[in-house]
Structure 1
Amino acid sequence: MCFRLGTHIGQHERLCLGEKFRCPTCRHEVILDRHGVYGLQRNLLVENIIDIYKQDYSRPEKKKENHPMCEKHEDERINIYCITCQVPTCSMCKVFGAHKDCEVSPLQNIYQTQKTELSNCISMLVAGNDRIQSILGQLEELCKSVKENSQKKKDSVNEVFEEMSRVLEEKKADLVQRVSQAEEEKIDFVRTLIAKYQEQIQSSSNLLQSALQASEQAGHATFLLEIQTAY
């Protein structure tokens, strides 16, 4: 039986000894003894809900106006939190409604707990954002460093290839000059040989001419003199 004297004494103090009635929550039949309603079993949960209900209504009217109301019980403010369903609800929903078998807690307790958790999450997010911002700064510096180092490498490569190109041009010019010089030397040598062979041909032609003339002489003495002169 879940009916409590502390929560319903105003409604049932008129009941008489031996009178029967049913608990409005569990529908268990109760018979009053000589103690009357004061002999009923106490329901601490309902008493706590009533205490919360009284505290809420004892607050200034300005706060009451902004307080959300229960959708199921339009006259009841949301003042407890259903831990089982993880939703805020009202006292009537706990006593008679959908949350009567659920575990509940005062709304203020859950509010403080979740507010603390939210504050911790916000602090973690802020700290995480700071760390990410720091990492982003480091990555930006890394990009800058990579660009600077890459530019230095490019300049170094260009300098090396420009030096190699200069050396190759000098080597090319030297080789071309050597080839040209060798060409001139060989041509001069060949031309000298040509001149010598031309002189030899001319000498041979002259000798041949003299020999022919000598062969045409009739006398022996004249022939021998011509031959001697030719040689």
Structure 2
Amino acid sequence: MNAMENLEKQLICPICLEIFTKPVVILPCQHNLCRKCANDVFQASNPYLPTRAGSLTSGGRFRCPSCRHEVILDRHGVYGLQRNLLVENIIDMFKQESSSSKPVPQNKEETPMCEVHEEEKINIYCVTHGVPTCSMCKVFGAHKDCEVAPITSIYQTKKTELSDGIAMMVSNNDRMQGIISHLEETCRAIEENSRRQKTQVCEKFDHLYTVLEGKKSEMMQKVTAEQDEKVNYIRGLTRKYGDHLEESCKVVEAGIQTMEEPEVALFLQNMKPLLKKISEASSTAHLDKVERGYENMEHFCVDFRKETKALRSIDFIQEADEDEEDEEEDKEAGAEEAEGAQTGSGSGAVTAASVQPPPPQQQSAPPVQP
């Protein structure tokens, strides 16, 4: 036994730690390896060499796992190493010797005994109660009035029945596994479709935000344009009234100086042109006027109640309605382009004065008194 154990130790592969598997290859350093193990070591040392049918066939190198000696292979790779037929024969002899020296286990079939009649073997089957029993129970015992059958025939029947049940359960398990796989795939599809739809919804809302921002900018520009126009006009009119006031002050100063003139002839001589200047300075007919309410900007009013209601009613639509939605969007875009300089949304909820205030020169209200 000790000799067999020592021999077995010599036949152990240093890679898989099992008895060498044929074919056994001998390395240049005289150490042995299973060809499969040698191929594994070669692949690990040369991961980038081309393969064919899962095996490396081109030249390369690796180190012996026993002595670390470098093994250089030719273009045949591991298949170019020589087989160690002597070791293979020794392995065959060792396996034969090991199998012959082991005792052959004897199959001892223990026949169950009857619980009531302990010396009787169970050899019949009670069909009425569905339990195995012995002959004594059929003759004298609890099963004397029952229908019985040979246990071997019932054995074959029940074995077939059990086999059919197992096959049915295996088939059912396969079906259940298929259902589980389908459900998992459906779950993944739902998650992917949800991500895609969320992205589309975000894009739709971003587009809506862009449209609203553009409309807001357009309306603000219109208000700003009218603001600039009115402010510039009022500032110009202010400068005209300021110039007229300055001329009037000069006439007043000239009148005061004339009133202080002691010479009667000189006073009367300056009176006529001075009175003419006073008459001209007192008249503001040549100055424009600002009509009442000119400063109001209330004609730029907005009413988003309809739009707010529409936004609150935003919801998902059926796929069949997508074409109709596209047509409506095209119509709305055309209506917005046709609006021109008017202020308003596509639904008409935003209103503005369609006619701008007339130019200040054409206004006929009474002039503002200085």
Query: Does the aligned pair in 2 maintain the 1:81–1:89 contact within 8 Å?
Result: yes
CA distance in 1, matches of 2:238, 2:217: 31
CA distance in 2, matches of 1:64, 1:84: 31
**Given the superposition, is the C-alpha separation of residues 227 and 115 from structure 1 closer, same or farther in structure 2, using an over 3 Å criterion?**
same
Query: Does the aligned pair in 1 maintain the 2:114–2:120 contact within 8 Å?
Result: yes
Percent of aligned pairs with the same residue?
Answer: 46
> Does the alignment pair 1:150 with 2:194?
yes
Task: Report how many residues are paired.
Answer: 170
> Does the alignment pair 1:227 with 2:238?
no
Query: Does the aligned pair in 2 maintain the 1:214–1:227 contact within 8 Å?
Result: no
CA distance in 2, matches of 1:227, 1:135: 112
Alignment of 1:137-216 (within 5 A): 137-212=181-256
- Greater fraction helix: 1
Moved more, 181-190 or 170-179: 170-179
> Does the alignment pair 1:66 with 2:110?
yes
CA distance in 2, matches of 1:227, 1:212: 12
**Given the superposition, is the C-alpha separation of residues 76 and 64 from structure 1 closer, same or farther in structure 2, using an over 3 Å criterion?**
farther
Give the match for residue 119 of structure 2. Answer: 75
CA distance in 2, matches of 1:104, 1:64: 27
Question: TM-score w.r.t. structure 2 length?
Answer: 0.40
Match of 1:93 among 116, 120, 137: 137
CA distance in 2, matches of 1:63, 1:91: 26
State the secondary structure of the residue aligned to 2:111.
coil
**Given the superposition, is the C-alpha separation of residues 205 and 130 from structure 1 closer, same or farther in structure 2, using an over 3 Å criterion?**
same
CA distance in 2, matches of 1:116, 1:151: 52
Give, as a single letter, the amino acid of the residue that structure 1 aligns with 2:189: S
> Does the alignment pair 1:118 with 2:162?
yes
Give, as a single letter, the amino acid of the residue that structure 2 aligns with 1:92: M
**Given the superposition, is the C-alpha separation of residues 213 and 63 from structure 1 closer, same or farther in structure 2, using an over 3 Å criterion?**
closer
CA distance in 1, matches of 2:210, 2:273: 74
CA distance in 1, matches of 2:143, 2:257: 155
State the secondary structure of the residue aligned to 1:88.
strand
Structure 1 residue ranges without an equivalent (≥5)? 1-61
State the secondary structure of the residue aligned to 2:249.
helix
CA distance in 2, matches of 1:224, 1:109: 155
State the secondary structure of the residue aligned to 1:92.
helix
Give, as a single letter, the amino acid of the residue that structure 1 aligns with 2:232: D
Give the match for residue 20 of structure 1. Answer: none
State the secondary structure of the residue aligned to 2:145.
coil
CA distance in 2, matches of 1:225, 1:168: 66
Q: CA deviation at 1:120?
A: 1.6
Give, as a single letter, the amino acid of the residue that structure 2 aligns with 1:227: L
User: What is the aligned-residue RMSD (CA, Å)?
Assistant: 2.9
Give the match for residue 106 of structure 1. Answer: 150
Q: CA deviation at 1:70?
A: 0.6
Query: Does the aligned pair in 2 maintain the 1:210–1:230 contact within 8 Å?
Result: no
Rg larger for: 1
